[in-house]
Amino acid sequence: MNDTTTSRLSGQSPFAKRLNGWGLPAPLFLGYLGLLLFMIGDGVESGFIAPYMASNGAGTEIKASYVITVYGVAVMLASWLSGALSDLWGPRRVMMIGLAIWVVFDILFLAVAVGGHNYALMLVFYGIRGFGYPMFAFGFLVWITAVAPVARLGAAVGWFYFAFTGGLPTLGALVASVTNPIMGHYGTLWISVALLLLGGLIAILGVRQRTGFQRLAPPEVKPVQGLMSSVSIAWKKPRVGIGMIVRVINTAPEFGMLVFFPTIFINQIGFGESRWLLLVSVIYGTNIFFNLIFGMLSDRIGWRTTIFWFGAIGCAISIVLLYFVPLAMGADYYWLALLVGALYGATLAGFVPISALLPSLAPEHKGGAMALLNLGAGAAAFVGPAIVSLFLGPAGAAGVVIIFAALYLVAAVLVRFLKLPEETERAIAEDASLQEVAKTTV
Find residue 354's DSSP bridge partners: none
* DSSP string of 139-199, one letter each residue: HHHHHHHHHSBGGGHHHHHHHHHHHHHIIIIIIHHHHHHHHHHHHHHHHHHHHHHHHHHHH
Q: How far apart are alpha carbons 252 and 266 in whole angstroms?
A: 22
Domain spanning 233-442 has what CATH number?
1.20.1250.20
The residue type found at 165 is T
Burial class (CB in 10 A: 0-12, 13-18, 19+), 391: middle
Write out the chain's pLDDT in tens, 442 residues.
444 444 454 567 889 999 999 999 999 999 999 999 999 999 999 878 988 999 999 998 789 988 988 898 898 899 999 998 998 999 999 999 999 999 999 999 999 999 999 999 999 999 999 999 999 999 999 999 999 999 999 999 999 999 999 998 889 988 998 999 999 999 999 999 999 999 999 999 999 999 999 998 887 777 777 777 778 888 888 999 999 999 999 999 998 998 899 889 999 999 998 898 889 889 989 999 999 999 999 999 999 999 999 999 999 999 999 999 999 999 999 999 999 999 999 999 999 999 999 999 988 788 889 999 999 988 898 899 899 989 999 999 999 999 999 999 999 999 999 999 888 888 888 878 888 777 766 5
Report the chain's C-alpha Rg in angstroms. 21
C-alpha closest to that of 63 among 54, 74, 72: 54
Beta strands in 190-329 (DSSP E): none
Which regions of the chain carry the CATH code 1.20.1250.20? 1-216, 233-442
Instruction: Centre a 10 Å sphere on the Cβ of residue 197 and count the other Cβ atoms it contains.
Output: 18
- Supply φ then ψ for residue 149, to 5 degrees: -55, 135
**pLDDT, position 11:** 61
CA distance from start to end of the chain? 23
CB 86 within 8 A of CB 370: yes
- Separation CA 416–CA 154 (nearest Å): 18
| Rounded-to-integer distance, Cα 359 and Cα 424, Å | 10
| Cβ proximity of 423 and 441 under 8 Å | yes
Q: In angstroms, rounded to a whole number, what is the distance separating the alpha carbons of residues 128 and 243?
A: 29
CA dihedral sign, ordered 293, 295, 300, 301 = positive
376/372 Cα distance (integer angstroms): 6
Distance CA 382, CA 72 (A): 9
Q: Residue 254 carries which side chain, given as an amino acid letter? A: E
* Alpha carbon distances (Å) from 1 to 6, 8, 155, 431: 7, 11, 19, 6
Contacts of 371 (CB under 8 A, 6+ apart): 80, 81, 82, 83, 84, 87, 230, 231
Total length of the chain: 442
**Correct CATH for 1-216 of 3.40.50.1000, 1.20.1250.20, 3.40.640.10, 1.10.10.10:** 1.20.1250.20
Amino acid making up residue 398:
A
C-alpha triplet 108, 113, 115: angle, nearest 5°: 100
Q: At what angle do helices 132-147 and 366-415 cross, to 10 degrees?
A: 80
| Predicted local distance difference test score (pLDDT) of residue 442 | 55
pLDDT of the residue at 424: 85
**Tell me, what's the pLDDT at 400?**
96
Q: What is the DSSP string of 289-348?
A: HHHHHHHHHHHHH-HHHHIIIIIIIHHHHHHHHHHHHHHHH-GGGHHHHHHHHHHHHHHH
Packing angle, helices 172-206 and 132-147, rounded to 10? 60
Mapped onto helix, strand or coil, the DSSP state of residue 433 is strand
